[in-house]
């Protein structure tokens, strides 16, 4: 089943009717620079829920275009797709690292560029910035603040791999972090969750708004569902990478995605985990650049 929760906001040099056409267009331009191994770039930009009212489709495209220009990603094929399946607006950008002149678009120093560009754009446009725990200097923290961030980081990391809350508890226990539930009086219904280490104990929501029992459970469930969905059929990014590398021709699997079931490029993109499915701060302006073998790198802004 596909989530009908996305809209193509902008396409440049790529037919957007279905995945097969997009792959063919990317592959044609890829041949201008056949020695480039990693020719498909993927960026996800997410914005604060507080900005939803002012982020029209046109403004999101404008912001994305300005972002790409400052990142020196331009003169190339790309798709911009807005996702509507979380409480914060976000869009995915897929672009060809072989530009229209056959030259390679550099992917060096992306982390450093992103921090500078994203922060500058956020401030210039008057957008909201979260309290961004990712940029807090852990080395300068002491006492309860230090322990709180230790728990925060441990929970975030564990939630990327565990299958349920019981498994999360066992993983944290190995790091000397305890986890306990608060139950509704006289029942086994979980009402809340707390974490403790040493002499310090915090409610989940005190550590981060995404660390309540409900949100942690939902995040783990969504991650597992997304992983299962990706196993059933390749994402558009994966299809593009396979086709562009020339290791194999688009076969029946791609045909099933793009034609047999009537799936559009939008629907194919939705097989990727949305930005909101990651363990990130709700209010963060996020950039993630997909690297080889599915690894991501990114940075988060904070005030």
Residues 239 and 109 in one domain: yes
* Phi-psi label, residue 288: left if phi above 0, alpha if psi -120 to 50, beta otherwise: beta
Q: What is the pLDDT, as a whole number, of residue 301?
A: 34
Q: What is the pLDDT, as a whole number, of residue 274?
A: 35
Domain that holds residue 156: 138-217
Q: What is the pLDDT, as a whole number, of residue 260?
A: 29
Which residue positions in the chain have pLDDT lower than 70?
1-5, 85-87, 129-139, 230, 232-303
**Can you state the percent helix, strand and coil of the chain, rounding each to 5?**
45, 20, 35
Residues 97 and 240 in one domain: yes
Q: How many domains does the chain have?
A: 2
Q: What is the pLDDT, as a whole number, of residue 231?
A: 72
Q: What is the pLDDT, as a whole number, of residue 263?
A: 40
Residues 96 and 34 in one domain: yes
Residues 182 and 211 in one domain: yes
Asked whether residue 225 is assigned to any structural domain, the reply reads: no
Residues 59 and 99 in one domain: yes
Residue among 1, 70, 76 nearest 32 (CA) = 76
Asked whether residue 151 is assigned to any structural domain, the reply reads: yes
Residue among 69, 93, 71, 75 nearest 32 (CA) = 75
Asked whether residue 157 is assigned to any structural domain, the reply reads: yes
Residues 22 and 119 in one domain: yes
Q: What is the pLDDT, as a whole number, of residue 80?
A: 93
Examine the fold and report which residue of 182, 217, 252 is the final residue of a domain before the chain moves on: 217
Residues 251 and 121 in one domain: yes
Residues 12 and 116 in one domain: yes
Residues 148 and 95 in one domain: no
Residues 120 and 241 in one domain: yes
Q: What is the pLDDT, as a whole number, of residue 85?
A: 66
Contact 210, 282 (CB under 8 A): yes
The Cβ of residue 252 has, within 10 Å, a number of other Cβ atoms equal to: 8
Residues 116 and 199 in one domain: no
DSSP 3-state of 23: helix
Residues 22 and 114 in one domain: yes
């Amino acid at each position: 089943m596909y989530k009908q929760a996305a809209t193509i906001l902008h396409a440049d040099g790529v037919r957007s009717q279905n995945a097969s056409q997009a792959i063919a267009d990317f592959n044609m331009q890829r041949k201008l620079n056949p020695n480039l191994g990693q020719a498909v770039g993927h960026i996800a930009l997410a914005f604060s829920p507080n900005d939803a009212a002012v982020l029209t489709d046109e403004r999101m495209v404008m912001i994305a275009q300005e972002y790409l220009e400052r990142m020196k990603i331009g003169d190339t094929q790309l798709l911009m797709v807005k996702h509507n399946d979380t409480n914060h607006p976000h869009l995915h950008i897929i672009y060809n690292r072989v530009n229209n002149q056959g030259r390679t678009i550099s992917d060096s120093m992306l982390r450093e560029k992103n921090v500078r560009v994203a922060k500058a754009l956020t401030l210039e446009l008057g957008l909201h910035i979260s309290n961004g725990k990712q940029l807090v200097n852990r080395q300068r923290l002491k006492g309860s603040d230090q322990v709180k961030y230790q728990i925060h980081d441990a929970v975030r990391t564990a939630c990327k791999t565990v299958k349920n809350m019981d498994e999360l508890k066992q993983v944290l226990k190995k790091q000397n972090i305890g986890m306990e539930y608060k139950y509704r009086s006289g029942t086994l219904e979980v009402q809340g969750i707390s974490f403790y280490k040493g002499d310090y104990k915090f409610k989940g929501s005190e550590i981060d708004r995404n660390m309540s029992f409900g949100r942690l459970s939902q995040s783990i469930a969504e991650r597992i569902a997304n992983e299962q969905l990706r196993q059933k059929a390749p994402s558009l990014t994966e299809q593009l990478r396979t086709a562009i590398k020339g290791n194999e021709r688009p076969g029946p699997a791609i045909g099933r995605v793009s034609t047999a079931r009537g799936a559009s490029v939008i629907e194919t993109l939705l097989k990727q985990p949305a930005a909101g499915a990651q363990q990130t701060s709700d209010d963060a302006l996020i950039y993630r650049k997909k690297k080889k073998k599915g690894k991501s790198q990114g940075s988060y802004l904070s005030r």
